[in-house]
Amino acid sequence: MSSLPIENSKQLLDRVSKILDKDSQIEIRNLVHSLYPAETAHILESLEPEQRAKIWAVIPPNVMGEILVEVNIEVGSGLLKITDRNDLIAACENLGSDNMVDLLHVLPEPLLSQVIETIGTLNRSRFENTLRYSEHTAGGLMSQDVLTVRADVTLDVVTRYLRKRGKIPAGTDSLIVVDRNEQFLGVLPLSQFFSSDPHKKVADVMDGQSIGVIYSMPSRDVVMLFEQRNLLSLPVVADDGKVIGRITIDDVVDVIREEADHSLMGMAGLTEEHDMFSPVMTSAKRRAVWLGINLMTAFLAAWVIDLFEDTIQQIVALAVLMPIVASMGGIAGSQTLTLVIRGLALQQVSAGNTMRLLAKEVSVGLANGVFWSIVVTCVAGIWFHDLHLGMLLGSAMLINLVCAALAGVTIPVALDKLGIDPALAGGVLLTTVTDVVGFMAFLGLATLFLL
């Protein structure tokens, strides 16, 4: 009999925090034993390293592997450092082949070699094979636990074969159908066994329209296939058409989550693989890089302002109003930038529609530029009792909003073509453009018309 869970992750986290504060070994142990590995992983990521160690100490070695696979790389490395070597080897032995490969990708040397040695010769060659596939391809996502059946046997024969075999790999929704030479032919959904005559041949009831993908397909494309065709699993084939593995939806869900996190975090110069509670100096150093790059662009903007020092000296109101031009350009530009970055990630922006998108975004920039120009002209004109100053501010803003739209489309598209992640570098470049153009336009126009 099942119970209805009334506790969500946040409530669970609060409960864990309270138990940890009490520091009762027994309560911690009871708690940990009641959790799924992924729940434990989620909790571990949310805690500080010292609290993490308290939980980790009571986790049985046989579930350690599953937890290590679920946590992000940095948290995982931290846990590995406080794990007994024998426990770790026990942990590895309990993992399925796809999880094992994920873990091997994380293990640092010399631990990696040691673990590989202890796995045993047969398994080792399998893992070494899988490690060859890049993490971000179909090969890197697949599990080698597959059930293949021949097309020329009857469903009855398959049923008897499965019975004899006993265990079916987790998440099996269908069997992969191959010919004599192990060439991929199609898939046979398990549900067919309940709706078809048992004496029919596999070839007659299988789904021959289903596809298999080559091991080198980028994981981004694999994800699209799962999403667009509502797949639960997808066979993976080698160059010669032989079936070498199977990708399941649970791993695809992880990729979707990682990609989304990557875009969001990338725009702030962060990555999704870092520990929320990394040591202060580690975090500070990582973020320093981003701050340093931004400092350079800020000094560039300052240098532009400095060109107009004499102008500002004569009309201090310019110094008061100039951040408005830069700020509005930055906001408008980041709207366009975000739209395009998402379009690129979803593969909805390509050579075929970039020019149309550019035209549309520049038109939107123009429309908003005209509207807000009028508004700021009035506000600044009244504030400083100077309509000319207001009109200057309005004109500079109009120029900056149009440039922001241009930059918001061209920067990410260009970065994408160059193979640079637009989510990571797009924001800094855009702000540089909108700052420089904003200050230059406003102070430049002022120098021309007000002095």
Among 26, 109, 194, 199, binds a second copy (CB under 8 A): 194
CB 274 within 8 A of CB 286: yes
Among 89, 238, 249, 420, binds a second copy (CB under 8 A): 249
CB 140 within 8 A of CB 255: no
User: What is the closest distance, in whole angstroms, from the C-beta atom of residue 166 to a second copy in the complex?
Assistant: 6
Residue whose tokens read 């501010």: 393
Among 141, 213, 436, 446, binds a second copy (CB under 8 A): 213
Closest CB to a second copy among residues 115, 133: 133
CA nearest 183: which of 245, 241, 246, 244? 241
| Token duo for residue 231 | 């797949």
Among 269, 390, 394, 426, binds a second copy (CB under 8 A): 269
User: What is the closest distance, in whole angstroms, from the C-beta atom of residue 419 to a second copy in the complex?
Assistant: 14
User: What is the closest distance, in whole angstroms, from the C-beta atom of residue 171 to a second copy in the complex?
Assistant: 7
Whole-angstrom distance, CA of residue 280 vs CA of residue 270? 15
Q: Is 2 in the site for a second copy (CB under 8 A)?
A: yes
Whole-angstrom distance, CA of residue 215 vs CA of residue 172? 19
Residue list 88-127, contact with a second copy (CB under 8 A): none
Residue list 378-397, contact with a second copy (CB under 8 A): 379
User: What is the closest distance, in whole angstroms, from the C-beta atom of residue 152 to a second copy in the complex?
Assistant: 14
Among 261, 273, 386, 421, binds a second copy (CB under 8 A): 261
User: What is the closest distance, in whole angstroms, from the C-beta atom of residue 8 to a second copy in the complex?
Assistant: 4
Residue 331, CA distances (Å) to 108, 221, 283 in order: 43, 32, 27
Q: Is 146 in the site for a second copy (CB under 8 A)?
A: no
Among 172, 373, 377, 395, binds a second copy (CB under 8 A): 172
Q: Is 173 in the site for a second copy (CB under 8 A)?
A: yes
Whole-angstrom distance, CA of residue 313 vs CA of residue 319? 9
Closest CB to a second copy among residues 127, 439: 439
CA nearest 437: which of 400, 395, 393? 400
CB 44 within 8 A of CB 277: no
**Structural element, H or E, at residue 413:** helix 387-417
Cβ-based burial of 412 (10 A; exposed 0-12, middle 13-18, buried ≥19): buried
Closest CB to a second copy among residues 119, 222: 222
Among 81, 132, 242, 287, binds a second copy (CB under 8 A): 287
Q: Is 166 in the site for a second copy (CB under 8 A)?
A: yes
H, E, C per residue of 38-95: HHHHHHHHCCCHHHHHHHHCCCCHHHHHHHHHHCCHHHHHHHHHCCCHHHHHHHHHCC
Closest CB to a second copy among residues 119, 174: 174
User: Given the rule CB under 8 A, which of 23-31, 53-61, 78-86, 209-217 is the region that contacts a second copy?
Assistant: 209-217
Q: Is 257 in the site for a second copy (CB under 8 A)?
A: yes
Residue 277, CA distances (Å) to 35, 67, 71 in order: 22, 18, 13
User: What is the closest distance, in whole angstroms, from the C-beta atom of residue 120 to a second copy in the complex?
Assistant: 26
Closest CB to a second copy among residues 122, 351: 351
User: What is the closest distance, in whole angstroms, from the C-beta atom of residue 101 to a second copy in the complex?
Assistant: 17
Tell me the site size for a second copy, rule CB under 8 A: 143
DSSP secondary structure string, 321-336? HHHHHHHHHHHHHHHH
User: What is the closest distance, in whole angstroms, from the C-beta atom of residue 89 to a second copy in the complex?
Assistant: 25
Whole-angstrom distance, CA of residue 16 vs CA of residue 276? 17
Residue list 9-48, contact with a second copy (CB under 8 A): 9-11, 13-14, 16-18, 36, 38-39, 42, 45-48
Give bridge partners of residue 246 from the DSSP assignment.
143, 235
User: What is the closest distance, in whole angstroms, from the C-beta atom of residue 334 to a second copy in the complex?
Assistant: 5
